[in-house]
Amino acid sequence: MKKIIEIGYKFLYLQDKIKTPKQIMHYKYCGICGKELVDHPAGDDGMVPYCEKCQMYWFDSFSSCVIIMVVNEYDEIAMLKQSYLSTEHETFVSGYIKPGENAETAAIREVNEELGLSIEHLEYAGTYWFPSKELLMLGYIGNVKKTVFHLSSEVDSASWVSIEEAESHMFPERPGNTQHKIFRRWINGKK
C-alpha cells in the first residue's frame, strides 16, 4: 500500500512538473560539440557560459509568446475556456512565436487559429515576464468584427464578455498575471 501511495505521489509530482515546466535554458554543455562550458567574461553581461573549443558564448535562452486581448466593435472581449489551463478561469488568445515570425504575425495567426477571426487592427500592449513558466509574454489588443467563433481543438468554448464582467472571468490577479494589465492598459487608453 505504502508503495502505491509513494508511486502515486511521485506521479502527481511529475504531473505537476509537466504542467508548469520551467522554460529557461541555462547551458552547461556546448550545443555544437558537447564540451563542458566554462564561465567567461562577456562585457557588460558579466560571466557567461562559453565553449573554449567553438569559441562561442551560450547565453540563457527562453521562449517568447504572444497574448492577445481580442475586442469587438461593441467593446466586448473574447474570453476562452481551455480546460488544460483551467476549468474555472478564462484566458485570452496566446501562443508561442515560431522561429522566423515577428510578434505581430504570430498574434494575427494565433487569433485566426484559435477563434477563426481576422484582426483588423493590432495594438501593442506591453511585454510581461511570466515567472511560473519563465516565458516572455508580448501583449497585444486585437480589434475584430463581432462574428461567430470558429474554435480550434485547443479551445473548449469562447464567449463575448462585457467590460464590466471581463475581469471576473480572468485568472486571479497576482504577480505575473498579464490579463489584468492588458485590460487596464486598454481601459486607460479609452479615457
CB 108 within 8 A of CB 184: no
Strand, helix or coil for residue 183: helix
| 38 near Zn ion, judged by CB under 5 A | no
Site string for Zn ion, 42-81 (x = CB under 5 A): ---------x-xx---------------------------
Q: Which of 24, 32, 42, 187 is close enough to bind Zn ion by CB under 5 A?
A: 32
* Cα–Cα distance, 82 to 97 (Å, whole number): 19
CB of 39 to Zn ion, least distance (A): 15
CB of 53 to Zn ion, least distance (A): 5
- State how far Cα 160 lies from the chain centre: 21
Count of residues of this chain found to bind Zn ion when the rule CB under 5 A is applied: 7
Applying CB under 5 A, the span of 2-10, 30-38, 86-94, 120-128 interacting with Zn ion comes to 30-38
Q: Which residues contact 40 (CB under 8 A, 6 or more apart)?
A: 47, 48, 49, 50, 52, 57
Query: Which residue is associated with the grid cell 498575471?
Result: 177
- State how far Cα 91 lies from the chain centre: 11
CB of 41 to Zn ion, least distance (A): 18
Site string for Zn ion, 158-187 (x = CB under 5 A): ------------------------------
Q: Which of 33, 38, 42, 187 is close enough to bind Zn ion by CB under 5 A?
A: 33
Q: What angle do CA 181, 25, 138 make, to 5 degrees?
A: 25
* Cα–Cα distance, 87 to 171 (Å, whole number): 11
Chain contacts with Zn ion (rule: CB under 5 A):
30, 32-33, 35, 51, 53-54
